[in-house]
Amino acid sequence: MLEVRVCIGTSCHLNGSYNVVQGIQQLLEEHAMHDKVDLEAIFCMKQCECNGVSISVDGENFRIEPEKVSEFFEEKIMSKVL
């Protein structure tokens, strides 16, 4: 099971973490990948100083823009599950 964590701390919330969580959930449904990815919202990942929303995939940290969720999903999530 691939572990995906999206930060919903104050800074990331203001940068659109809600949209990132929604976007990933929708993509997981579209690709029937719910049983392969464990998606959870977590609090501050201590990377607030950068733009975007903090997200980790199996312990590797990234910052993403909410409008780039699909791109990120394909590159960093789908590619690891398929």
Q: CB nearest ligand FES: which residue?
A: 9
**How distant, in Å, are the alpha carbons of 27, 31, 54, 70, 77 from that of 34?**
9, 8, 21, 16, 12
Task: Judge contact between 46 and 7, C-beta under 8 A.
Answer: no
The strand pairing partners of 7, in sequence order, are: 42
Using CB under 6 A as the binding rule, whether residue 10 contacts ligand FES is answered as yes
Q: Which is nearer to ligand FES, 48 or 78 (CB)?
A: 48
- Identified binder of ligand FES from the candidate list 39, 41, 44, 78, rule CB under 6 A: 44
- Judged by the rule CB under 6 A, the positions of this chain that interact with ligand FES are 7, 9-12, 44-48, 54
